[in-house]
Amino acid sequence: MKSLIFKSTAVFVIILGFLLGCAKIQKVTQTLINLRNLEFKLESINNFRLNNINLSNKKSVSDFSLTDGVNLVQLFNSKKFPAEFTLNVAAKNPNDGTKGTERTSSTIRSLDWRLFIDDKLTVAGDIDKPIDIPGTGQSTIIPITIKLDLFEFFGQSGYSDVINLALALGGVNGSTSRVKLDIKPTVTTPLGAMTYPGRITVIDKEFRGN
């Protein structure tokens, strides 16, 4: 009798372990699926500085002071045109507990990025610290500091085109319409870090995911 009870208990434990294991695997699988639902969009460019000259209050070349204008021309002639700006990327986590999804917050621990301007590959980098994306369905802004030499990539177009490009990006009417960001996120999961299998081309017209 004791032997029968022992065997029954053992079978119950095995079945229970199997069911718990399946539930855990299912939960982990769903979590991985949810994490891949993250979406990204280019939001804005701000703090654009050209050779440390703030462009946020400038519409055209005529808005530069005479001194700044002369300095920029001389700088361009020396084959340098350093620019720095903040590219704001909106990240959205749609896993807010509605539409059959489990509310899940995500942490982006790495965001390998490559910057394209006018479809030309320029510089690349990564975020300097993890970013939490709560499962609220709302956007979280990821600010990315960009530093590049515009002459290196666009100098052959001439001074006028390059200065107008800078104004189109960071001037009074600046926008991200000429910019694309190619990213490969790595997110934290119950199984450790997970890097997206493919890259995502982020633009300003719509949210995009994997």
pLDDT single digits (tens) 140-182: 999 999 999 999 999 999 999 999 999 999 999 999 999 999 9
Kindly report, residue by residue over 38-86, the tens digit of the pLDDT.
Answer: 899 999 999 999 999 999 999 999 999 999 999 999 999 999 999 999 9
Q: Does residue 191 or residue 149 have the better pLDDT?
A: 149
Report pLDDT for 16: 43
Q: What is the pLDDT of residue 135?
A: 80
Parallel, antiparallel or unpaired: strands 208-209 and 200-202:
unpaired
Spatial contact of 48 and 145, defined as CB atoms under 8 Å apart: no
